């Protein structure tokens, strides 16, 4: 039988070892929890809001690029600028604009607006446009709009199958480069032109699953002032585009009788929208931002949009 003192020493040693192991396990658990919190924080950060503006080609004769840049530089928050390109202007000719905007904004490039979609007869011509745009502008672009108001067959005047085929070709190309893509749907007040049903019918699951951002274009002026049930709409889009961030891709006050005050009220309404979905990221992308807001000094519409960009 071992000596009693030896047994006591062994017992004390075992307790010390047990306590030490317990402390080590506790420390590891705490460290792991810290990592989980960090990861959760990172996931939340991915859902940061997009503060969007649109720049088209309608201002070149009346407004200087330097004034546009000054307006961007003076904003409170870094915006995402959607640059809508015209078919008659080659992507290489946009380098100056993209390069000037990039220091003060993230850029979402729209190589083909819905109004010009019909000019691209097939997926080959559409893809060529995107390849050309990527070749000259990719270093400045954060998001590529591979399809704009794609369900607007009334003015696109092409079969949905052709439209989707063109979009898929551009989406596959841009995704193969490791870039992010965005798809814009057009919302109306007409049940006969429901964009959710159109999407269910024509957008394949593979394309929907590859979309990083699904945004909605909506103009109250085109729909007799109708306000959609946004919560229901974004719920439906969230189901159809399971991994995409959601938001508004175009808005504005474009009626011929629009006033400064009506534009201010419309801007307030959209830029202060609540988060209708857990993946809602804002956007808005006021259509006539340059025409309505530049020059920016003493411009009440500019100040309204600026004050909502925080």
Residue 45 domain-assigned (yes or no): no
Predicted local distance difference test score (pLDDT) of residue 190: 86
Tokens representing 27 are 């420390």
Summarize the confidence of residues 237-252 as an average pLDDT: 98
Question: Residues 119-136: pLDDT tens digits?
Answer: 999 999 999 999 999 999
- To 5 degrees, how large is the angle CA 83–CA 141–CA 275? 75
Contact 107, 81 (CB under 8 A): yes
The share of the chain scoring above pLDDT 90, in percent, equals: 82
Predicted local distance difference test score (pLDDT) of residue 47: 56
Burial class for 161, CB neighbours closer than 10 Å (0-12, 13-18, 19+): exposed
Residue 13 domain-assigned (yes or no): no
CA distance 307 to 291: 18
Residue 237 domain-assigned (yes or no): yes
Which domain does 148 fall in, by range?
Answer: 50-308
CATH number at residue 277: 3.20.20.80
Summarize the confidence of residues 167-190 as an average pLDDT: 98
CA distance 28 to 21: 11
Tokens representing 183 are 């798809």
Per-residue pLDDT at 301 exceeds 90: yes
Summarize the confidence of residues 88-100 as an average pLDDT: 98
Q: Could you write out the DSSP letters of every residue in 262-307?
A: HHHHHHHHHHT----STTEEEEEEETTHHHHH-S-TT-HHHHHHHH
Residue 35 domain-assigned (yes or no): no
How many structural domains comprise the chain? 1
Residue 14 domain-assigned (yes or no): no
Question: Residues 25-80: pLDDT tens digits?
Answer: 344 444 444 443 334 333 434 558 999 999 999 999 999 999 999 999 999 999 99
Mean predicted lDDT score pLDDT of the chain: 89
Predicted local distance difference test score (pLDDT) of residue 192: 80
Summarize the confidence of residues 130-144 as an average pLDDT: 99
């Amino acid at each position: 039988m071992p000596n009693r003192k030896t047994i006591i020493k062994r017992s004390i040693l075992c307790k010390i070892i047990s306590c030490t192991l317990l402390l080590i396990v506790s420390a590891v658990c705490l460290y792991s929890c810290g990592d989980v919190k960090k990861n959760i924080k990172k996931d939340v950060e991915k859902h940061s809001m997009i503060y969007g503006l649109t720049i088209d080609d309608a201002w070149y004769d009346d407004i200087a690029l330097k004034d546009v840049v000054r307006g961007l530089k003076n904003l409170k928050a870094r915006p995402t600028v959607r640059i809508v390109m015209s078919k008659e202007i080659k992507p290489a000719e946009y380098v100056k604009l993209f390069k000037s905007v990039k220091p003060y904004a993230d850029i979402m490039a729209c190589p083909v607006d819905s109004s010009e979609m019909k000019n691209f007869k097939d997926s080959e011509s559409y893809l060529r446009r995107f390849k050309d745009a990527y070749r000259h502008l990719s270093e400045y672009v954060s998001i590529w709009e591979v399809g704009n108001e794609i369900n607007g067959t009334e003015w696109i005047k092409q079969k949905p199958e052709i439209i989707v085929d063109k979009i898929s070709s551009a989406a596959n190309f841009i995704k193969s480069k490791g870039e992010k893509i965005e798809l814009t749907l057009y919302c109306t007040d007409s049940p006969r032109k429901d964009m959710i049903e159109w999407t269910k019918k024509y957008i394949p699951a593979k394309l929907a699953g590859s979309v990083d951002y699904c945004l909605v274009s909506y103009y109250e002026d085109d729909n007799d002032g109708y306000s959609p049930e946004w919560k229901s709409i974004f719920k439906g889009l969230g189901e159809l585009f399971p991994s995409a961030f959601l938001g508004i891709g175009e808005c504005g006050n474009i009626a011929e009788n629009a006033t400064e005050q009506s534009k201010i009220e419309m801007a307030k309404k959209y830029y202060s929208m609540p988060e209708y979905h857990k993946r809602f990221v804002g956007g808005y992308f006021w259509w006539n931002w340059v025409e309505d807001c530049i020059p920016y000094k003493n411009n009440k519409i500019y100040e309204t949009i600026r004050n909502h960009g925080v």
